[in-house]
Amino acid sequence: MIGSLDSKVPSGPIESKWEKHKFESKLINPANKRKYEIIVVGSGLAGAAAASSLADLGYKVKCFCYQDSPRRAHSIAAQGGINAAKNYQGDGDSVHRLFYDTVKGGDFRAREGNVHRLAEVSANIIDQCVALGVPFAREYGGLLGNRSFGGAQVSRTFYARGQTGQQLLLGAYSSLSRTIAQGGVQMFPRTEMLDLVVVDGHAKGIVVRDMVSGEIFSHAADAVILATGGYGNVFYLSTNAKGCNVTAAYRAYKKGALFANPCFTQIHPTCIPVSGDYQSKLTLMSESLRNDGRCWAPKKKGDKRAPHEISEDERDYYLERMYPAFGNLAPRDIASRAAKTVCDEGRGVGPSGFGTYLDFADSIKRLGEPMIKERYNNLFDMYHQITSENAYKTPMRVYPAVHYTMGGLWVDYNLMSNLPGLHVLGEANFSDHGANRLGASALMQGLADGFFVIPTTIANYLATQSPGSRPKTDHPEFQKAEEENRAQTNKLLAIKGRKSVDSFHRELGLLMWDMCGMARSEKSLTRAIARIPTLREEFWGNVNVPGSGESLNMALEKAGRVADFLEFGELMCLDALARNESCGGHFREEFQYTAKDPEVQKGIVCEGDVKRDDTNFCHVAAWESTGDPSKPVRNIEPLVYETVHPAVRSYR
């Protein structure tokens, strides 16, 4: 057992912690920086920003991605915007308000110091991105435009129509491309990380597979950075790209890195509903649409009439009714559970009954269709291409789906894991969003970690390592890791079973969604924990992976990732079972407000809202691998709130 965890958050007033930490951080002179090599795994916003920034500082950087180009990183899929506390609208925003909204939005399960730093550097991110040429939307007079997102009563979200992630990624990619051309970054596309190499207790390299040739080999470095995104695809159906996986993070966990709060997963309330068993992923409809769209469902159970046939007084604008102060811009976890409740009552719409309406009729009447097209045209086009429905004329049908993961590898204030030398950025770490991420904050965190945090904090580790002291890839630990991964590859290819990799992934995903999805209970989690090891055993005895390991083999790639999901899914369920409370996206059915609670009677919360237990669970759960996926060890980091004191999370 690890024991106590040191977050390394500096002392002093929260407003000065980051400045104090920057001043007290170690420095490395320019000549010595050239002697250090850093590996960055992942080339999305966090990875591309980190690789280019570190190269600009003079470090030698190797950057790896499994896509054919960094431009295909999943950061490209973000739609609605990026938060920053610039207060351009003069509506009362500030660094402190962004900090407070993020802590409250995470249901008081995030680390205060990290969140305040994120709010502080948010304004710098916008300036950096404008300098990189990101075409943010602008007002008529030329100033950058803003819109609102869930969980906030100010307009602080900067955006580029409905493709903000794409434009930000192109900006970060331009910076990465410049440093590649200058020789500061060596890029390795179509290369998948298979393992972390630990030498004398420090992360000193990785084992990778060339996805085209099949060759397995190693790279050594003075420090390793993982910026590999989240694990939402454990549910099979999610809004994530099909390639998104947990492998890099999970294999680091198996080498000693702690995995924090894995049960904290985010369900996005507005996605295109599942249409059949043939689907392999789901499509997000941006939260920004809730600025102008109103969520409603029929008041009458089983009402199958077309939406235009249902009169205004027969409609239930459920978010406006339940959470009048925030209305349709209630946070994602709350809006998702409200939609689920409506459908569970038999008032869902669409062929499956799992859907509610997102209606733009009032906004089109007020603003005109051209204005709505200007704001959201690409999203409406996407919806039309998938559903053949015109959302300008009839309401969109939406339903919650897995979108983001707040859990991740444990890191301290320097973004270094408990494993010295291993740093983790963006969605791959746990630090900033608690039990629920507010919309438009993922892009903010990824760019903050990559452009502004890790370039300062990584020196605190590198300064303890002598320049040029890193091991070479002929070190026994590298050779051992390579052989273990070759053996696993050969084992997968040799099974020659009767079931495809996708069939196992689909079965696991359905199990996770039903037992550990939007709602969990002791009963459902216990059932999942009993079933997953059996499914895992069946996988290793009956999966069929065609082809060979010496060439491009997508089935082999998926098999390795699903093998990790089959272990990681159990860890998620164990974490959810151990956390006997509800908070944010972690909704345990046993722990919710009822009509008898004074908070409901006073109108502070709604019946069915999550009920935290701050006495017993105001902490981070950081899981330690023992080698047996069914028997991890639970460590805790107490969460100390000096500035924002935990309170009942109300959006009414």
Specify the pLDDT at position 1: 67
CATH architecture of 476-617: Up-down Bundle (1.20)
pLDDT single digits (tens) 620-642 = 999 999 999 999 999 999 999 99
Indicate whether 3 pLDDT > 80.
no
Specify the pLDDT at position 581: 98
pLDDT single digits (tens) 195-229 = 999 999 999 999 999 999 999 999 999 999 999 99
The dihedral over CA atoms of 449, 113, 231, 39, expressed in degrees to the nearest 10, equals 40
Specify the pLDDT at position 4: 76
Catalytic site includes residue 332: yes
Give me the percent of the chain exceeding a pLDDT of 70. Answer: 100
Q: How confident is the model at residue 643 (pLDDT cuts 50, 70, 90)?
A: very high
- Rounded to whole angstroms, the Cα distance separating 644 from 121 reads 19
Compute the average pLDDT of residues 268-295.
94
Instruction: Enumerate the β-bridge partners of residue 207.
Output: 195, 218
Specify the pLDDT at position 161: 86
What rounded mean pLDDT belongs to the chain?
96
Q: What share of the chain is helix, strand, coil (3-state, %, to 5)?
A: 40, 15, 45
Compute the average pLDDT of residues 410-432.
97
Compute the average pLDDT of residues 516-537.
98
CATH architecture of 268-402: Alpha-Beta Complex (3.90)
Place of tokens 């869930």: 150
Q: In what order do the strands lie in the sheet with 223-226?
A: 185-188, 60-64, 37-41, 223-226, 422-424
Indicate whether 2 pLDDT > 80.
no
Indicate whether 619 pLDDT > 90.
yes
pLDDT single digits (tens) 336-374 = 999 999 999 999 999 999 999 999 999 999 999 999 999
Give me the percent of the chain exceeding a pLDDT of 90. Answer: 97
- Considering the candidates 156, 251, 332, 437, report the single residue annotated as catalytic: 332
| Segments making up each domain of the chain, as ranges | 14-264+406-462, 268-402, 476-617
Indicate whether 69 pLDDT > 80.
yes
CATH of 14-264+406-462, one of 3.50.50.60, 1.10.260.40, 3.40.190.10, 3.40.50.300: 3.50.50.60
Specify the pLDDT at position 305: 95
Task: Report the alpha-carbon angle 525-531-535, nearest 5.
Answer: 140
476 contacts: CB under 8 Å, gap ≥ 6: none
- Rounded to whole angstroms, the Cα distance separating 552 from 73 reads 20
Q: Please state whether beta strands 223-226 and 422-424 pair in parallel, antiparallel, or not at all (unpaired).
A: parallel
Burial of 494 (C-beta count, 10 Å sphere; 0-12/13-18/19+): exposed
Specify the pLDDT at position 336: 96
Specify the pLDDT at position 320: 97
pLDDT single digits (tens) 139-184 = 988 899 999 999 999 999 999 988 999 999 999 999 999 999 999 9
Specify the pLDDT at position 162: 86
